[in-house]
A and B are shown apart, each in its own frame.
Chain A
């Protein structure tokens, strides 16, 4: 039986409705979300805009802490009160890989340096980081692209699809326990989106990676192992995926 990489229990997340804290009105985005992700699974979350998908992903990615409930990632329990900011950074650098809707590569760095970042954050030696980054890039880019020197080019001189592939390479380079992808194909054309999504599927299979992805694309969602729908702050498993209401 596969072990659980992610176990969320009763996650609540509230945001103040007004900037002023004294007003006291809050928006309940998540109202007790339970989620289990087993190792090597590829799950997707669908739902209407503003239903809290990104909020849930931020909680799973340890970018935010829940107001209530517990997240356990690869055996490490995260709660709002017991986890410090430094611990969150530490777990984030070692257990989570991010792919955002926009590639969010650092424009000052080359593609290779961007992919090296998670390893450098882990204080790995530059040479070792470079080798591992090149290995990941080799997995995601074609030989002719690598031969054309894409690794030494900056993000503004490569295509959107290539940037997103570099962002995926950056997410997987440190072999995280969980890859969190927030609409990774949302900014791409159909062909490139399919190409990127296929890469994610390949990564899941080749590296036995656990991936959770937010998407608005029902076709992509249907190709994942499990589809969850977030509605009214609650997460439910979809048996038959259809277009979101």
Chain B
């Protein structure tokens, strides 16, 4: 047994051990939490969007509630565009109420605090819910991403108005056919808009339909939604744009600009994807800087505390040296302290960070993804965690090394005589 193993535990008080380990632990926990969140976000969002590979999706912002129905009707003509998703976003909070127009019975109501994302629709077009369900299941069976789930996944701040959940609640209460519903969307300012919804057979026949990404052409067929004249030719007011046309986004945007209220910001989704990726990069860079700062702070804490401890324990170190403890032994005592602080802090930090990520970070998304894609509930980026733990160790060792140098300068002859 060497003196390092024998004495290191007594160098710090229990309180100092706890505080230093907790300091390192908090830093590591914060970093692990951030890392898991970023990785989670990246995996769930960017990969999902990339996998979906839409040709064009156009997204426009800040559509006031009172413009909602009007705009929806206006842009319905754009649905003739193949493989194009046009989405709107209504700034929240809003409330949605679906009422049976014949009986006056309330069928569905929901208050939404966040912004709302929906899809363009075409009046009179039927969306077979069972087909969508079948399609979703087929996607999942094939291991593909469910486009609707992707949309829901896009951000916690976004919600899809017309989703399976809502339809599942409405349909069982509806008559098989001919029921008329009124869907009212209101905001806090009292602005509201009402859209008529009708059931037909087993279908919900709304002026609202779901227009998804390209795979949705399975059930949103262009020939179904594109108005034709009697001879079967598309109507002139519909955009007839070929697939993969590079100018499509611009033309659609120009068309939307004519239809939408002025000052409505229009974004192309592909650009938005790039923004998301750029945002991920920004987050990752911020995380790295955060790592550097937090772990440096931990190292500085370790340095200051151990400097004080060594100042306090100069006599003890001098006595050990007087009895023959070598420089290596003294260094070993201090380095062992640093490593144990780093190890305790890292263990606690990783555990707390991962738990916090599991509990707090977007549990709804996580559950949905685990439901849809059978993914594990928490992704722990092992490589990143290893880097963080290594940084914690390096930081603690540097934090110990500097006080160690001053400890080795102690001259036992002088110190003991001065006592």
Whether B113 is near chain A, meaning CB under 8 Å from some CB there, is no
Given A108-B10, A109-B10, the answer on whether A123 and B1 have CB atoms closer than 8 Å is yes
Interface string of A96-120 (1 = CB under 8 A from B): 1010101010111100010011101
Whether A125 is near chain B, meaning CB under 8 Å from some CB there, is yes
Whether B110 is near chain A, meaning CB under 8 Å from some CB there, is no
CA distance A113 to B324 in the complex (A): 16
Q: Are A104 and B329 in contact (CB under 8 A)?
A: no
CA distance A94 to B325 in the complex (A): 11
Kindly identify which residue among A89, A98, A106, A123 contacts B2, using a CB–CB cutoff of 8 Å: A123
What distance in Å separates the Cβ of A122 from its nearest Cβ neighbour in chain B? 7
Q: Are A54 and B3 in contact (CB under 8 A)?
A: no
Give B324's nearest chain A residue, CB to CB: A93
Give A87's nearest chain B residue, CB to CB: B326
Given A100-B416, A102-B419, the answer on whether A129 and B1 have CB atoms closer than 8 Å is yes
CA distance A92 to B323 in the complex (A): 6
Given A102-B419, A129-B1, the answer on whether A121 and B327 have CB atoms closer than 8 Å is no
CA distance A64 to B329 in the complex (A): 19
Whether A2 is near chain B, meaning CB under 8 Å from some CB there, is no
Residues of B within 8 Å of A61, CB to CB, are 322
Chain B contact-residue range equals 20 to 34
Residues of B within 8 Å of A58, CB to CB, are 413, 417
Kindly identify which residue among A89, A116, A124 contacts B324, using a CB–CB cutoff of 8 Å: A89
CA distance A129 to B7 in the complex (A): 14
Residues of B within 8 Å of A107, CB to CB, are 316
What distance in Å separates the Cβ of B235 from its nearest Cβ neighbour in chain A? 91
Whether B63 is near chain A, meaning CB under 8 Å from some CB there, is no
Whether B19 is near chain A, meaning CB under 8 Å from some CB there, is no
Q: Are B419 and A122 in contact (CB under 8 A)?
A: no
Interface string of B310-332 (1 = CB under 8 A from A): 00000110011111111111000
Q: Are B322 and A120 in contact (CB under 8 A)?
A: no
Q: Are A92 and B324 in contact (CB under 8 A)?
A: yes
Kindly identify which residue among A63, A109, A118, A120 contacts B412, using a CB–CB cutoff of 8 Å: A63
Query: Interface on chain A toward B: helix, strand, loop, or mixed SS?
Result: helix
Q: Are A64 and B327 in contact (CB under 8 A)?
A: no
Residues of B within 8 Å of A118, CB to CB, are 323-324
Residues of B within 8 Å of A104, CB to CB, are 315, 319, 322, 416, 419
What distance in Å separates the Cβ of B2 from its nearest Cβ neighbour in chain A? 5
CA distance A53 to B325 in the complex (A): 24
CA distance A113 to B323 in the complex (A): 14
Query: Interface on chain B toward A: helix, strand, loop, or mixed SS?
Result: helix
CA distance A91 to B320 in the complex (A): 14
CA distance A121 to B419 in the complex (A): 23
Residues of B within 8 Å of A106, CB to CB, are 7, 10, 316, 319-320
Whether A85 is near chain B, meaning CB under 8 Å from some CB there, is yes
User: Of residues B2, B321, B324, B417, which shows the largest number of chain A Cβ atoms within 10 Å of its Cβ?
Assistant: B324
CA distance A10 to B320 in the complex (A): 29
Q: Are B324 and A122 in contact (CB under 8 A)?
A: yes
Residues of A within 8 Å of B6, CB to CB, are 113, 116-117, 120, 126
Residues of A within 8 Å of B419, CB to CB, are 100, 102, 104
Residues of A within 8 Å of B316, CB to CB, are 106-108
Give B330's nearest chain A residue, CB to CB: A89
Q: Are B324 and A94 in contact (CB under 8 A)?
A: yes
Q: Are A120 and B326 in contact (CB under 8 A)?
A: no
User: Of residues A116, A120, A129, which shows the largest number of chain B Cβ atoms within 10 Å of its Cβ?
Assistant: A120
Whether A23 is near chain B, meaning CB under 8 Å from some CB there, is no
Given A61-B322, A104-B315, the answer on whether A120 and B413 have CB atoms closer than 8 Å is no
CA distance A60 to B316 in the complex (A): 21
Residues of A within 8 Å of B413, CB to CB, are 58, 63-64
Residues of B within 8 Å of A108, CB to CB, are 10-11, 316
CA distance A85 to B6 in the complex (A): 22
CA distance A126 to B7 in the complex (A): 12
CA distance A106 to B326 in the complex (A): 17
What distance in Å separates the Cβ of B305 from its nearest Cβ neighbour in chain A? 16
Tell me the B268-325 residues at the A interface (CB within 8 Å).
315-316, 319-325
Q: Are A86 and B327 in contact (CB under 8 A)?
A: yes
Give B9's nearest chain A residue, CB to CB: A108
What distance in Å separates the Cβ of B367 from its nearest Cβ neighbour in chain A? 51
Interface string of B2-33 (1 = CB under 8 A from A): 11001100110000000000000000000000
Residues of B within 8 Å of A89, CB to CB, are 321, 324-327
Residues of A within 8 Å of B325, CB to CB, are 89, 93, 121
Q: Are B322 and A90 in contact (CB under 8 A)?
A: no
CA distance A45 to B278 in the complex (A): 80
Q: Are A98 and B327 in contact (CB under 8 A)?
A: no
Interface string of B354-390 (1 = CB under 8 A from A): 0000000000000000000000000000000000000
Kindly identify which residue among B1, B315, B320, B321 contacts A125, using a CB–CB cutoff of 8 Å: B1
Q: Are B327 and A126 in contact (CB under 8 A)?
A: no
What distance in Å separates the Cβ of A157 from its nearest Cβ neighbour in chain B? 16
Query: What are 29 A-B interface contacts by the 8 Å CB criterion?
Result: A54-B417, A58-B413, A58-B417, A63-B322, A63-B416, A85-B327, A86-B326, A86-B327, A86-B328, A89-B327, A92-B322, A93-B325, A98-B323, A102-B419, A104-B315, A106-B7, A106-B10, A106-B320, A108-B10, A108-B11, A108-B316, A117-B3, A117-B320, A118-B323, A120-B1, A120-B3, A120-B6, A125-B1, A126-B6
- Chain B interface (Cβ within 8 Å of chain A)? 1-3, 6-7, 10-11, 315-316, 319-329, 411-413, 416-417, 419
> Which A-B residue pairs are the 3 nearest by beta carbons?
A93-B324, A108-B10, A63-B413
